[in-house]
Chains A and B, each alone.
Chain A
């Protein structure tokens, strides 16, 4: 336990800002997960690995001499097709099945992706340089890397664009209709197969954007996908499916929680604290549900 943070108000500001900026990025990944969970009832364990793959795409264009920020446009385009292909190859076979089967299938995908990335990009940890500099506040006592501000901004931009797209476009409406009742949508002429493929593609594209942002703010490695999966799972559990504002708030909440856990409990408990919170929330939810007496025991 370390209470340094309460003695230095600037640390508090720093932690809060770091947490919120990071949380917005998590929220973007979680939004993709919530979307395809809601529509297809699939928990995607490979979510984090899709993120990392998106990051490697941005890193590759960086190696070609293009600024890695272009990754936030190129990476989602490529990742959309990766997601689409993945759906056609694997996911369409598990989409109507038991949740457990889908977890198993996506777990398999996660392993294959990790090994492929290791094979193609090597096991070295890599970073892409944005050279965006730093914003200094309060006489240099609070510093915010501009790359983090950029990543939060891009995340918000894409999230808003997606919400509008889901509301206004034909495909968006079809996706929402399928999420509400797949059978009814099918009867009314919605090609649910296509909707599923598009949903998975959109999810992968969101992961691509997040990955590109991670390549310039954090580090990339073929095996660091899992923490992103866990975080987005957690955010979705807290926020519920199909509730975007809640996803955003719970994303930022998680970011803040992580930062403060890091300061107070120590860095080693950072990820552990997330897991602990997940357990507490699940227990609380069950407790609430059992009070309502609405479900079959």
Chain B
């Protein structure tokens, strides 16, 4: 190719590129579509939960669009989401958020999966004043930075297991208990830990083991041997799915007897499926359970949602999917109340959100966290090898009584 031809090609590509970015920079509302953007982990270590999140988003988009869409200034609009794969990498997520906002012209964002990635994206959305409703970042630090455009439909991480300590104290006749705890060293688990520290202080409980688990950990025999030696009233473990699976494996193998075992990520880890009866009596914190009695007009009840989700995607929805679906309901509600596509009007409408969804009540606190929905605890209970999660706290929704204390391993068949 000679020089002139090369120059010509460069020129043409430059024009094309400019045109593409020019046309797409007005993409916030295209025709009858309201375009939302989301960076989501479709590959990498969060890919399974990333897919749960995406399925939740898609399910809600389909449902809302089918049921008439979003009405703004008398006109009906439909939702559409632009997804990018962030490869479970915070840096990549932040880049993609920029790209969604600057190149694709997205004016409203949905959150990624995990606290870490949400933390990476939040400064970007904040910088461009883009309202983001997120459903999978629970870390407390997200809500203490004074972000004005961040809204989370889920309860913050420090609330995950506080209820469990209250429950233990209640079972102990209102007196403080001895707590052994092991938490992974990541933002989320450390926030869960802070919640426990608060609860311990409030109830006069004593923390006798306070181990920090490294990220690569898949062996907590040492922690458990210590637990065996000092006999606490409650053992609390939080280390994502790996922590939950390792804990149950080693507690059952080492025959560690504790009256109460509280954890996070049991359903994400498919604990009762992978460990069967060994996981029985474990108490697990959850954002949502299908048996709760919340209702809305789009999905009906939690049970109905679970049934529809199962039909669509072929598996029981984990809470990650439910909360993601709820994020879309929040957006719809905010658009309609704002009755405008102005970002700040939508943001102000989000601030005033007060609604019930199948997933729970939603009302945002000053930091953007959902303050209207309590965490729930379920307990794994088994009949033979068939195990299921039953809600035991708070009492309002409890379908079963909390089984306490856990029988000793020598008495378990």
Interface residues, chain A, CB within 8 Å of chain B? 4, 8, 10-11, 14-15, 18, 22, 115, 118-119, 122-127, 129, 134, 136, 140-141, 143, 145, 147-148, 218-219, 221-224, 226-227, 259, 262-263, 266-268, 270-272
Contacts and interface: CB of A to CB of B under 8 A. Distances in A.
A167 to B, nearest CB: 34
Contact of B217 (A118, A136, A270): A270
A4 B214 contact: no
Nearest to B255: A143
Nearest to A22: B219
A143 B43 contact: no
B67 interface: no
A263 B44 contact: no
A6 B84 CA distance: 53
Nearest to A268: B212
B249 A127 contact: yes
B245 A123 contact: no
Given A22-B219, A127-B245, A143-B254, A222 B45 contact: yes
Contacts, number: 113
Contact of A268 (B46, B213, B219, B230): B213
B223 interface: yes
Nearest to A126: B274
Nearest to B43: A118
A145 B246 CA distance: 13
- Residue from B212, B230, B276 whose CB has the most chain A CB atoms within 10 Å: B212
Given A22-B219, A143-B253, A218-B218, A123 B46 contact: yes
Contacts of B214: 267-268, 270-272
Contacts of A262: 222-223
B229 A10 contact: yes
Nearest to A261: B222
B275 A11 contact: no
A38 to B, nearest CB: 27
B223 A267 contact: yes
Contacts of B411: none
26 contacts: A4-B226, A14-B225, A18-B225, A122-B48, A123-B47, A124-B270, A125-B241, A126-B245, A126-B274, A127-B275, A136-B255, A141-B228, A148-B253, A223-B45, A224-B218, A259-B222, A262-B223, A263-B222, A263-B225, A263-B226, A266-B211, A268-B212, A268-B213, A271-B216, A271-B217, A272-B214
B269 interface: yes
B44 A118 contact: yes
Contacts of B48: 122-124
A11 B242 contact: no
B344 to A, nearest CB: 38
B220 interface: yes
Given A124-B48, A125-B241, A219 B218 contact: yes
A266 B220 CA distance: 11
A147 B216 CA distance: 21
Nearest to B216: A227
Contacts of B47: 118, 122-123
Contact of B254 (A4, A127, A145): A145
B89 interface: no
A266 B410 CA distance: 29
Contacts of B49: 123
Nearest to B211: A267
A129 B249 CA distance: 9
Taking residues whose C-beta sits less than 8 angstroms from the other chain, chain B's interface range is 35 or more
B215 to A, nearest CB: 9
Contact of B229 (A4, A124, A127, A219): A4
Contacts of A272: 214
A267 B225 contact: no
- Residue from A15, A136, A219 whose CB has the most chain B CB atoms within 10 Å: A219
Contacts of A10: 229
B226 to A, nearest CB: 6
Nearest to B250: A145
A221 B254 contact: no
B330 interface: no
Given A125-B245, A129-B276, A145-B253, 20 more contacts: A11-B225, A15-B222, A15-B225, A118-B43, A122-B47, A122-B48, A123-B45, A123-B46, A124-B48, A124-B270, A127-B275, A140-B410, A147-B253, A223-B45, A224-B216, A224-B218, A267-B213, A268-B211, A270-B222, A271-B216
A118 B49 CA distance: 13
B227 to A, nearest CB: 11
Nearest to A260: B222
Contacts of B211: 266-268
Given A123-B48, A223-B45, A266-B211, A134 B185 contact: no
B282 interface: no
B221 interface: yes
B182 interface: yes
Given A122-B47, A123-B46, A266 B212 contact: yes
A134 B45 contact: no
B357 to A, nearest CB: 27
Given A115-B43, A123-B45, A123-B47, A134 B255 contact: yes
- Residue from B48, B182, B185, B230 whose CB has the most chain A CB atoms within 10 Å: B48
A15 B274 CA distance: 27
Contacts of B225: 11, 14-15, 18, 263
A219 B246 contact: yes
- Residue from B242, B275, B276 whose CB has the most chain A CB atoms within 10 Å: B242
Contacts of A263: 222, 225-226
A102 to B, nearest CB: 24
Contacts of B228: 141, 143
Contacts of B45: 118, 123, 221-223
Contacts of A218: 218-219, 246, 249
